[in-house]
Structure formats: C-alpha cells, structure tokens
C-alpha cells in the first residue's frame, strides 16, 4: 500500500491506554502501523492508587504534571504517538446521593465542543480504524461514558464535509471498535489459578457479574509477544497502579497459555466484519488505498454492531 495504515485509540484518562488494548497497539506500532492514543482528559482529579506513593509531596503538589510525565513514559514504552484532547477530568462522584459533577469538566462539556475537538484530531491523523469504549464506558465513570459518546459522534461526523468545516479536510475512518470487557477471559484465569492452588483475585467480580452486561466479541488479536510492553507501560503510570495489585496476579506464562489475545467488539464498520477476526484492519486493504478515501461518499455501513443482539 502507498500509505501506512493508521489506528487511533480514544481514552478517557492517562493510564486507560495501558490497561485497554495496549499490547495490540504495541504490536501494530512495532509492525509498521501508525498508532495514536488520544487522552480526552489529563486525569487531574484522579486519586493516588499506589499505596507506595501516597503522601509523596511532589505528587500531591502537582498530580496533573506527574500524570503527564507518566503518560510520556508509557507512550515511549508502547512506541505510539499521543495527544491530549485538552478537557478536564470529571472525577468519579461518590456518595449517596451522588454529588454533582464539577463545573467545566469533560462529562459536562457540550457534545458539539467535544465532537469538534476529536473530529479535528481524526482529520489531522486520518485513522483507518478507531477504538473506544462501549455505551456503558466499560464501567460507569462519567468520563468513560463521555468518551464513548464523543468517539461515536466524531466517527460519524469526521467524513462529513458539512460538519465542523473549520476542523480540517474530511476524513472517514472505516471501522470503530469497543475495547472488550470479557468475563470469559477472567473466568479462565480464575479457573487456571485455582487449578494451581493459587487464590484468585477475580472471585468476587465473577460472582457479582451481571449476565445482562455481556458483549459480542468480533475480533481477537493475538498479541502475547507484547504483554511485557503492556505491563511496563501500565507500571509507568505509577500513581495509578499498585505493582502488587490484581493487574499482576496472573503469571505471564499463564496469560500466554490461557488467553493470548486482546479482544474487541466491532461497533460500526464500512467494510464487512466476519467474526471472529484476528486483525482490526481486516478487510480494509481493499478499500483504503492511499489517501483517496477521504470521505464516506457513497460507502454504506456494512456492519452495525449497535443493532446486533448482545450474547
């Protein structure tokens, strides 16, 4: 192909990119694709979740800057490009009743504002494939839900010359996927740990899992060779990740043997999706020849996962 294929991964906060699809991004970046992570917010209202760093005066003085530095390290480890969309972290409201979200935060921004900002990045980077969160945000953090909303809105608008005409030349991505939250994966890890006589960190989560939240996996990317990069990128977000926590309870050898893929759910695609794919770019090479595909034009949506029954 005359032009490199490009992947854009849209995330709510720094560290989300390293816990959701990171090995897949590292694989594509290492094999010659252009990969861009978009962080919608700076994570300014996050807590310090690593007990080893609680009370550190440097972190407490400027958490926003620390999280920028962490993101830069994770970006370097994964070998991807990165940009900040520039919105302010909404925080995670807690209490009963829940307090209102802070004024000016990402989750309260008008959808026209957030959409235009992401459309501008799509038209600049010109991704063929995007990834984001499902309509529940993966979990119901207001910034994750807003990330879904703005990603789907921008995916639809970026190729429309009449939409946001000052935000660059139209460009239509061909596919958008949701990062999968796959119960079967964690159930497999749970069973494998118990079989070795090791306590599983997933017991309570599996017990409380609601079957109504099940998703349809359409794509499994084998990326076990990049699990180390994923873990190192995750550890780079030192304020957010406890190195002794649940993220690292499953031995690497077990991960590779039991579940060597990262899984995705096709949401909307202008090319056919034939589950189960092994490549986010499946079917694209025949359509995305160079830069000639700037807009959707006369393309029809070939797959709309939003209309598919969840299984």
Binding site per annotation, positions for Zn(2+): 13, 16, 144
C-alpha dist (Å) from residue 71 to 29, 43, 57, 75, 152: 17, 10, 20, 6, 24
Give me the phi and psi of 301, to 5 degrees please. -65, 125
Please identify which residue in the block is written with the tokens 């599996």.
Answer: 206
**Secondary structure tally for the chain: helices H, strands E:** 10, 8
Buried b (16+ CB within 10 A) or exposed e, 72-102: eebbebbbbebeebebbbbbbeeeeeeeebe
Count of CB atoms within 10 A of residue 235's CB?
Answer: 20
Residues 6+ apart with CB under 8 A from 104: 88
Distance of CA 175 to the CA centre of its chain: 14
List, as residue ranges, the binding site: 13, 16, 144
What does DSSP say about strands 129-132 and 175-179: parallel, antiparallel, or unpaired?
A: parallel
What span, in angstroms and rounded, lies between the C-alpha atoms of 261 and 259? Answer: 6
DSSP letter for each residue of 266-286: EEEESS---SSBS-TTTTTTT
What span, in angstroms and rounded, lies between the C-alpha atoms of 168 and 122? Answer: 9
Q: 51-54: list long-range contacts, CB under 8 Å, 24+ apart.
A: 51/242, 52/242, 52/243, 53/238, 53/239
């Amino acid at each position: 192909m005359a032009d490199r294929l490009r992947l854009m991964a849209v995330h709510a906060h720094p560290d989300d990119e390293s816990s959701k699809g990171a090995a897949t991004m590292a694989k594509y970046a290492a094999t010659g694709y252009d990969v861009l992570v978009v962080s919608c917010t700076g994570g300014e209202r996050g807590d310090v979740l690593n007990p080893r760093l609680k009370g550190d005066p440097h972190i407490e003085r400027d958490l926003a800057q620390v999280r920028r530095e962490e993101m830069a390290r994770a970006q370097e480890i994964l070998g991807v490009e990165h940009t900040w969309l520039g919105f302010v972290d909404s925080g995670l409201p807690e209490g009963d009743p829940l307090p209102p979200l802070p004024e000016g935060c990402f989750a309260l921004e008008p959808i026209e504002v957030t959409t235009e900002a992401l459309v501008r990045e799509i038209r600049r980077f010109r991704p063929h494939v995007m990834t984001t969160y499902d309509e529940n945000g993966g979990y119901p953090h207001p910034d994750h839900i807003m990330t879904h909303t703005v990603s789907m809105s921008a995916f639809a608008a970026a190729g429309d010359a009449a939409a946001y005409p000052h935000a660059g030349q139209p460009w239509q991505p061909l596919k958008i996927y949701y990062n999968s939250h796959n119960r079967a994966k964690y159930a497999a890890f749970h069973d494998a740990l118990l079989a070795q006589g090791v306590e599983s960190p997933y017991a309570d989560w599996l017990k409380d899992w609601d079957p109504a939240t099940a998703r349809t996996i359409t794509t499994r990317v084998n990326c076990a060779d990049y699990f180390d990069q994923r873990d190192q990128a995750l550890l780079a977000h030192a304020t957010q990740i406890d190195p002794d926590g649940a993220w690292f309870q499953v031995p690497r050898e077990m991960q590779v043997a039991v579940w060597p893929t990262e899984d995705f759910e096709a949401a909307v695609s202008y090319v056919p999706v034939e589950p189960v794919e092994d490549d986010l770019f499946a079917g694209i090479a025949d359509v995305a020849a160079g830069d000639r595909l700037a807009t959707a034009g006369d393309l029809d949506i070939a797959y709309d996962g939003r209309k598919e029954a969840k299984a």
